[in-house]
């Protein structure tokens, strides 16, 4: 049977849709419909409360106040390297954009390269802190090569070296990181 043989007049389809809508309205008015309406509203309220709900709002306000008063919150202390990486990325971008000064023993071009390497290191460490990537580990890498089902977004050996180099540069040039 082709689609043309199944075709029906549009008026018939509208009548079916209207009948379906009326049945749904009747179900909502019945005891069954009221029961489901209560169930879903209670379930959604419970889900909101169990996930955090009002306590999340209160906690976020507390963390915001802590940040305004002392410059950091308890939440920041849970992942210091994540917070420092995030700040480092922003600071390096700002320093490369403004570039007011550089250490006297190197050129501004060399200083910009150093800042880029430091920024890249902060980006890798931020990706690791957020769970986007995992830190490089030879034994884990070999395990995941053998098992193709496991998906592990691990930074490469080259990226690990770049991150270590950038963090070493950060340590070396720490007292020169001012504009």
Residue 49 confidence class, pLDDT cut points 50, 70, 90: low
Give the per-residue pLDDT at 78: 85
Average pLDDT of the chain to the nearest whole number: 80
pLDDT of residue 15: 85
Dist. CA 83–CA 125, nearest whole Å = 10
pLDDT at res. 42 = 76
Residues facing residue 154 across a β-bridge = 134
What is the pLDDT, as a whole number, of residue 41? 75
Percentage of residues of the chain with pLDDT beyond 90: 25
Q: What does the alpha-carbon distance between residue 99 and residue 105 come to, in Å, rounded to a whole number?
A: 16
Residue bearing the bigger pLDDT, 128 or 168: 168
157 contact partners, CB below 8 Å, separation of at least 6: 136
Asked which of 1-10, 27-36, 86-95 is least confident by mean pLDDT, the reply is: 1-10
pLDDT of residue 85 exceeding 80, the answer is yes
pLDDT tier for residue 102 given thresholds of 50, 70 and 90: confident
Encode 38-49: b = buried (16+ Cβ within 10 Å), e = exposed: eeeeeeeeeeee
pTM: 0.60
Residue ranges of domains in the chain:
8-53, 76-179
Of residues 155 and 136, more confidently modeled: 155
Comparing CA positions, the residue from 98, 102, 96 lying closest to residue 116 is 96
Note the pLDDT of residue 169. Answer: 95
């Amino acid at each position: 049977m082709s689609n043309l043989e199944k075709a029906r007049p549009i008026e018939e389809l509208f009548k079916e849709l209207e009948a379906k809508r009326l049945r749904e309205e009747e179900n909502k008015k019945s005891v069954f419909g009221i029961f489901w309406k209560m169930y879903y509203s209670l379930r959604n309220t419970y889900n909101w409360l169990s996930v955090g709900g009002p306590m999340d709002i209160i906690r976020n306000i507390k963390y915001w106040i802590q940040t305004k008063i002392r410059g950091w919150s308890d939440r920041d202390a849970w992942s210091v390297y994540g917070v420092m990486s995030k700040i480092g990325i922003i600071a390096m971008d700002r320093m490369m954009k403004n570039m007011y000064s550089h250490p006297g023993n190197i050129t501004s071009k060399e200083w910009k390269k150093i800042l880029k390497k430091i920024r890249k290191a902060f980006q890798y460490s931020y990706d690791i802190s957020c769970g986007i990537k995992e830190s490089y580990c030879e034994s884990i890498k070999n395990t995941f090569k053998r098992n193709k089902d496991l998906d592990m977004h691990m930074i490469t050996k080259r990226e690990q070296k770049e991150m270590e180099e950038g963090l070493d540069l950060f340590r070396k040039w720490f007292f020169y990181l001012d504009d």
